Copies of this chain bind each other. A is one copy, B any other.
Amino acid sequence: MPDFQSLYAQLFEKLGEIVDIRHTLALMQWDQEVCMPQKGAFARGLQLATLAGLEHRLFTDAEMRSLIDTLRGHTEALSPEQAALVRETAHDLDRGIKIPESLVRLFAEAQSRAYEEWVEARRTSDFRRFQPHLKTMVDLSREKAEFLGYEESPYDALLDEYERGMTATKLRPIFDALAGRQSALVARIAESPYQPDVSWLDQAWNESAQLCFCEEVLRDMGYDFGAGRQDISVHPFTTTFDVQDVRITTRINPRDFLSALSSSIHEGGHALYEQGLPAAFRRTPLADAPSLGLHESQSRFWENIIGRSHPFFRRYLPRLRELFPGQLDEATSTDLYRAANRVAPSLIRVDADECTYNLHVILRFEIETALIEGSIRAEHVPELWNAKMKVYLGVDVPDDAHGCLQDIHWAHGSFGYFPTYALGNLYSAQLTEQARKDIPDFWNTVEKGSFSELLLWLREHVHRHGRMKNSAEIIQDATGSPPSPEPFLRYLEEKYAVLYPAQPQSV
């Protein structure tokens, strides 16, 4: 009988090398989006392809298959954590071996090219520049889906990478419920006599003061700048090279300091998750989130539930007045709270309010399923986008930079990613309901800017598990209930009934 502990040690060692390569790939992408000079893109594409190919070759080689084949049948000889590592690696391997290395290389190279062209296309609002690259990313993703296999829709094979077990068919009724109740809410809000005056916000906000404020809030949240950093990029993101090197980016709107603030808090929420993953399983697939939806629940929790709460603005108004001298003397914390939660159907997803946000996601879900299922082609995207924006949000899209070119995801070939944002909203509301029960002082701690108790709660119930449990189990164990859209809709309806009352009342 083989020595399972020694085989496990071999697996652990080998996964270390593979995860090192994955983190190196993340560094190369971070550099591409944050530092790289423009002409470096050609070589970077080839380098990413080489490393992605190597990673795939090592991860799916005969040694790995043999280790997993043996260990997956003998998890009783392993500790529960060891068994979880074998189970998760086996899952990834079953997926990985279906995709040929040549496709992995092609995909990485195309991704890098598409990213560069997307940046330029977005800057000049020139969809035709991006169109052939979008087509390539759709074609390659479709090919990937065929290799992976699916029951109903090729889209399901891609979605599964981000939210395991989720399918387009399961998503549709959830999205129907969200679209119906959220549209009704948006309509009620539009009719409320209490529309906030946010004209005071349209001032020049010093950019370094904005960055300084974002960094202070991140520190208060518990983000460790000794194990991370914040930079500027076209599209804000979080990336991880180790539990001790988790980096975020933000972007600055010189006329609206709330924009960088919410970006930074959002990415900070992701980063706190990554910095809190089980360090004992660093350099293994266990030190990761079980799904992007659960990951998004953390960014949404901090961005919306905390960062758009009234206690939050009561806490930070004095500091904001110091950082922007003379610019906020008249504003009250209620003004900030109402401005941060103003509901207005708008063009840009990442700037969208909580009531309309999921509508942006649903629109993208509909377009990307159609692209992957082949019922529309890349060239139809702008027209379809603009038509759906009119239907869901009632807005006219002035140009593609403010329309279908706004997001990085399709340039990355990340089809199936968008729905996880909506799922993150749902999970975040469920976790909040429970955290408020467990921490009776919840809103007081926010008002004191003392977030350590909240962070500990998230570390305990979410972060420390890594992929030891799946996202449904984590939600179930943390809240006592399975994933459900109801708490999120309840949260929205309660919060906005107060912010936008039908009848006069105080906020």
Q: Which residues of A contact B (CB under 8 A)?
A: 16-17, 20-21, 23-24, 27-28, 31, 35-40, 42-44, 46-47, 50-51, 53-54, 224-229, 241-242, 244-245, 247, 282-283
Known: A24-B24, A27-B27, A46-B16. A40 touches B244 (CB 8 A): yes
Which of B24, B38, B227 makes the CB contact (< 8 A) with A37?
B227
Closest chain B CB from A149 CB (angstroms): 30
Please list 28 pairs of residues, one from A and one from B, whose beta carbons are closer than 8 Å in the complex, sorted by A's number.
Answer: A17-B50, A17-B54, A20-B46, A20-B50, A20-B51, A23-B43, A24-B24, A24-B47, A24-B50, A24-B51, A27-B31, A31-B31, A35-B35, A37-B227, A38-B226, A39-B224, A39-B226, A39-B227, A39-B245, A40-B227, A40-B242, A42-B244, A43-B241, A43-B245, A43-B282, A44-B242, A44-B245, A47-B241
- Nearest to A227 among chain B residues (CB) is B39
Report whether B37 and A226 are in contact in the complex, using a CB–CB cutoff of 8 Å.
yes
Closest chain B CB from A502 CB (angstroms): 50
Which of B35, B53, B229, B242 makes the CB contact (< 8 A) with A43?
B242
Could you tell me the distance between the alpha carbons of A23 and B35 in the complex, rounded to whole angstroms? 15
Closest chain B CB from A50 CB (angstroms): 4
Seed contacts A20-B46, A20-B50, A40-B227; 13 additional CB < 8 Å A-B pairs: A17-B50, A17-B53, A20-B47, A21-B50, A24-B50, A24-B51, A27-B31, A36-B245, A37-B225, A37-B226, A37-B247, A40-B245, A47-B241
Chain B residues, CB < 8 A from A24: 24, 28, 47, 50-51
Among A31, A47, A241, A283, which residue has the most Cβ atoms of chain B within 10 A? Answer: A47
Chain B residues, CB < 8 A from A40: 227, 241-242, 244-245
Report whether A229 and B37 are in contact in the complex, using a CB–CB cutoff of 8 Å.
yes
Closest chain B CB from A282 CB (angstroms): 7
Closest chain B CB from A443 CB (angstroms): 32
Could you tell me the distance between the alpha carbons of A20 and B55 in the complex, rounded to whole angstroms? 14
Closest chain B CB from A8 CB (angstroms): 19
Could you tell me the distance between the alpha carbons of A112 and B505 in the complex, rounded to whole angstroms? 62
Report whether B44 and A241 are in contact in the complex, using a CB–CB cutoff of 8 Å.
yes
Chain B residues, CB < 8 A from A20: 46-47, 50-51
- Nearest to A40 among chain B residues (CB) is B245
- Nearest to A43 among chain B residues (CB) is B242
Could you tell me the distance between the alpha carbons of A228 and B16 in the complex, rounded to whole angstroms? 32
Chain B residues, CB < 8 A from A242: 40, 42-44
Report whether B21 and A51 are in contact in the complex, using a CB–CB cutoff of 8 Å.
yes
- Nearest to A58 among chain B residues (CB) is B54
Chain B residues, CB < 8 A from A43: 23, 241-242, 244-245, 282-283
- Nearest to A23 among chain B residues (CB) is B47
Could you tell me the distance between the alpha carbons of A17 and B35 in the complex, rounded to whole angstroms? 23
Chain B residues, CB < 8 A from A46: 16, 20, 283
- Nearest to A25 among chain B residues (CB) is B24
Could you tell me the distance between the alpha carbons of A44 and B27 in the complex, rounded to whole angstroms? 11
Could you tell me the distance between the alpha carbons of A111 and B245 in the complex, rounded to whole angstroms? 19
Could you tell me the distance between the alpha carbons of A240 and B90 in the complex, rounded to whole angstroms? 38
Chain B residues, CB < 8 A from A27: 27-28, 31
Could you tell me the distance between the alpha carbons of A226 and B116 in the complex, rounded to whole angstroms? 14
Report whether A35 and B229 are in contact in the complex, using a CB–CB cutoff of 8 Å.
yes
Chain B residues, CB < 8 A from A38: 226
Closest chain B CB from A63 CB (angstroms): 13
Could you tell me the distance between the alpha carbons of A228 and B40 in the complex, rounded to whole angstroms? 8
Chain B residues, CB < 8 A from A227: 37, 39-40
Could you tell me the distance between the alpha carbons of A247 and B21 in the complex, rounded to whole angstroms? 23
List the 6 closest pairs (A to B, CB-CB), nearest first.
A40-B245, A43-B242, A20-B50, A39-B244, A39-B227, A20-B47
Could you tell me the distance between the alpha carbons of A50 and B51 in the complex, rounded to whole angstroms? 12
Chain B residues, CB < 8 A from A35: 35, 229
Could you tell me the distance between the alpha carbons of A44 and B24 in the complex, rounded to whole angstroms? 9
Closest chain B CB from A56 CB (angstroms): 13
Could you tell me the distance between the alpha carbons of A229 and B38 in the complex, rounded to whole angstroms? 10
Could you tell me the distance between the alpha carbons of A17 and B47 in the complex, rounded to whole angstroms? 8
